[in-house]
């Protein structure tokens, strides 16, 4: 709605492609660590699955680059659903597809529009998985992140600062999953023994939000 740029360049398809590059690089770099986190409470495949999904998504987007930010997010979501192979595929796939559809066909969007779209995507994750805050899932990173993003933009922050606040909130949220008891997924079968481990999905969510923050800082958004 805000016609005036909130500082720096608008968010266009190139921005989201840069984010995809940054996210793929981060997932690749952290794949072993994500799988390590997934070993005591999951099935030790989160890093491998995420790397396979993001590499496939980046390849698909390079081959047929969509020309809108929404289009890129939808394409990445589609690839994640078909290539990840674990629960993070349909969950992240739903997050990004829902967010991409919320952005529509606009060639550029504002940070506020991106914030609203990401919130819609995160709500989609909650509906699909049936999890709530405190269940030791990716929502424990994503919900604080979209809240922090909206709060920072409302307070007048520029895009880069607002996304940095979102990334910090996601990281904090991921760390806060350590003392939680898992209530969803394979980890929930472990009951009390799921306590004391940081949730792998919340950790990868923080990586994806950090990739947004890094992208915005690099392009001076």
Partner 1 sequence: MTPPAAPGSPSRTPDPQGGASSAALVGVVLVSHSASVARSVAELAAGLTGGAAEVPVAPAGGGPDGGLGTSSDLIASAARSVDRGAGVAVIADLGSAVLTVKALLADDELPSGSRLVDAPFLEGAVAAVVSASAGADIDAVAAAAGEAYDYRKT
By rule CB under 8 A, what count of residues binds partner 1?
22
Please, what's the b/e burial string for 63-96 (b: 16 or more CB within 10 A of its CB; e: otherwise)? eeebebbbbbbbbbbbbbbebbebbbbbbbbbbb
CB closer to partner 1 out of 35 and 49 = 49
97 makes contact with partner 1 (CB under 8 A): yes
Q: Report the alpha-carbon distance of residue 95 to residue 103 in Å, rounded.
A: 13
Question: Which lies closer to partner 1 via its Cβ, residue 36 or residue 82?
Answer: 82
Stretches 1-9, 28-36, 87-95, 206-214: which one binds partner 1 (CB under 8 A)?
Answer: 87-95
* CA-to-CA dists, residue 78 to 60, 91, 93, 117, 212, angstroms: 10, 11, 6, 17, 19
Contact 176, 199 (CB under 8 A): no
User: Is residue 43 part of the contact set for partner 1 (CB under 8 A)?
Assistant: yes
| Residue 126 interacts with partner 1 (CB under 8 A): yes or no | no
Indicate whether 65 belongs to the interface with partner 1 (CB under 8 A): no
Judged by the rule CB under 8 A, the positions of this chain that interact with partner 1 are 43, 45, 49, 52, 81-91, 93-94, 97, 128-129, 185-186
């Amino acid at each position: 709605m805000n016609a005036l740029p909130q500082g720096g360049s608008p968010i266009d398809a190139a921005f989201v492609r840069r984010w995809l590059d940054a996210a793929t690089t981060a997932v690749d770099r952290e794949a072993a660590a994500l799988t390590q986190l997934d070993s005591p409470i999951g099935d030790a495949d989160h890093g491998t699955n995420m790397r396979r999904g993001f590499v496939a998504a980046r390849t698909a987007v390079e081959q047929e680059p969509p020309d809108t930010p929404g289009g890129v997010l939808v394409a990445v979501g589609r690839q994640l659903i078909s290539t990840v192979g674990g629960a993070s595929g349909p969950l992240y796939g739903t997050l990004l597809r829902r967010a991409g559809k919320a952005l529509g066909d606009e060639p550029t969007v504002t940070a506020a529009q991106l914030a609203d779209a990401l919130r819609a995507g995160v709500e989609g994750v909650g509906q699909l998985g049936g999890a709530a805050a405190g269940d030791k899932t990716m929502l424990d990173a994503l919900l604080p992140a979209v809240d922090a993003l909206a709060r920072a933009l409302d307070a007048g922050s520029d895009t880069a600062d607002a996304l940095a606040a979102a990334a910090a909130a996601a990281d904090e949220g991921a760390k806060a999953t350590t003392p939680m008891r898992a209530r969803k997924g394979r980890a929930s079968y472990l009951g009390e023994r799921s306590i004391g481990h940081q949730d792998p999905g919340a950790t990868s969510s923080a990586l994806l939000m950090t990739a947004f923050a890094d992208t915005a800082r690099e392009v001076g958004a």
